[in-house]
A and B are shown apart, each in its own frame.
Chain A
Amino acid sequence: MRAAARIVAEADRSGVTRLAVLRGESPLLLRRTGPRDTTSATVHLVGGAAGPLRGDDLLLEIEVGPGAHLEIRSVAATLLLPGRPAPPSLLTVRATVAGSLRWLPEPAIAAAGCDHHASTAVEVADGGSLLWRDDLVCGRHDEPSGSVRSDVTIRYAGRTLYRHRLTVGPDAPGWSGAAVLGNARATGSAVLAGPGLPVPHLPAEGAAVMALAGPGVLATATGADIREVQAALDPFCAAMPAPV
């Protein structure tokens, strides 16, 4: 299944964020939620089909103009499934941000046998702000993890701020060793970029909030289950509230 979706958020003269484009197709369906005519807009991703499954090729493009504030959530966790023998499922997300973007989807769950590649590229203009959260659960209850490769590139003011790849599952040597995830079966990260960054700290044994070399902070957490990860990351994400 191939699908593309696109969101363009723009601020009008009165500072209200309008969605100039909100276009999706199954399984990448988009719904505007929350109040209208405010300085920020919220969009929910609604899964329009099972998966992603092997062979799927999904593209989401996001554009946030100067002065616009966009928050993207999802209505439920994404279950990455095996499907028929086929190339890996692909999810490509490309975003350009001049205003502010908060990406706060529910976790992805790597079901046994899945083979999924996620690729994220975010370009934030100088003065823009970004909160980018990604949570991953390695296998459903009591099953081995499928294969997931997640690539993230976040650039700020024309420079690469954060470049990261996480690979888990049977094709990733040592991923369940103590250097990568150890016994943890859930992990999450949140990158905050732009002005007004929080102070680095250590919220839990398996978590840390770290100052990046550039204008950004990374909160990263691991846990036996997703609740431990959420306990460490949710307060961090809540500390950067959406402008109203």
Chain B
Amino acid sequence: MSLATLLVLADGRLPAGGHAHSGGFEAAVSAGRVRDLAGLDGFLRGRLHTSGVVAAAFTAAACAAGLEAGSPQPPDPRALLHPTDLHAGSPQPTAPRPIDPRPTAPRPADPWDVFRRRIAELDDGMDARTPSPALRRASRAQGRALLRAGRAMWPVPAAGREPHHPVALGVVAAAAGLDPLAAATAAAHGTVTGPASAAVRLLGLDPYTVQGLIAALAPECDRIAAASAGTANDPVDELPADGAPLLDIGAEHHASWEVRLFAS
């Protein structure tokens, strides 16, 4: 696994629309629930241990499904020069199947069928864990943007038009050759960096101190990612479902505003 590839995927400058979302922080500031650095710290901790845990688990599971379906091919530089080819859909196994000597035996499942089924289940699982329609929209918009960015870098298989962000992140990570642990680390880390950078803009907090909070949460991100890698093949209903009532409530109120700085 390439560490540099993980850095490419987890880069905050990845053009996948993440900067437009505050992870619920704008709503929390407006409702007066966060005013200072201590408030940001509590927000980040709570978000990491609820949405972050769920995102990491679903990212790891989607990544495991992608790896199971097939090894990614190195990107073809010619394909990158012809963007129309980038949306061609999932790489299908092209090698001819050997003829089964026992005609009555059930055919082995197509690995891409298994992949698509698991991805659809994971996407439904994110729906069931995201009661707020505004958060479902935000997650799917970011998932779609990430798939688009991912397709410009790696051979990303079809995973639905607008999957939830953690599902898209896992699929893209697998296409990049990353393992579930790395993918989940990027997911957990991403759930704190978004609101943290929004906090610098919304509350005018000192960016150095804010970065200190993110660094202090890194060991937590590692622990959550390790747990996520361990549950990557679990049934969807058994994956983490930690919810945050104020993120849901805040997102619904935020979506009703006429003017807002962030999309969510």
Contact = CB atoms under 8 A, between A and B. Distances in A.
A180 B46 contact: yes
B46 A175 contact: yes
Size category of the A interface is 35 or more
B45 A173 contact: yes
B48 A174 contact: yes
Given A189-B245, A210-B252, A222-B249, A178 B42 contact: yes
A58 interface: no
Contacts of A162: 128, 131
B43 A178 contact: yes
Interface string A167-202: 100001111111111111001010000000000101
B244 to A, nearest CB: 5
B256 A202 contact: yes
Contacts of A220: 131, 245, 248-249
A13 interface: no
Interface of A: 151, 153, 159-167, 172-184, 187, 189, 200, 202, 205-208, 210-214, 218, 220-222
B241 A179 contact: no
A183 B46 CA distance: 13
B50 interface: yes
A160 B252 contact: no
Nearest to A204: B249
Contacts of B39: 177-178
In order of increasing CB-CB distance, the 6 nearest A-B pairs are: A177-B42, A174-B46, A174-B45, A177-B46, A213-B127, A179-B46
B236 A183 contact: no
Nearest to B248: A220
Nearest to A189: B245
Contact of A160 (B28, B41, B49, B124): B124
A222 B50 CA distance: 17
Contacts of B240: 165
B124 A207 contact: no
B231 to A, nearest CB: 14
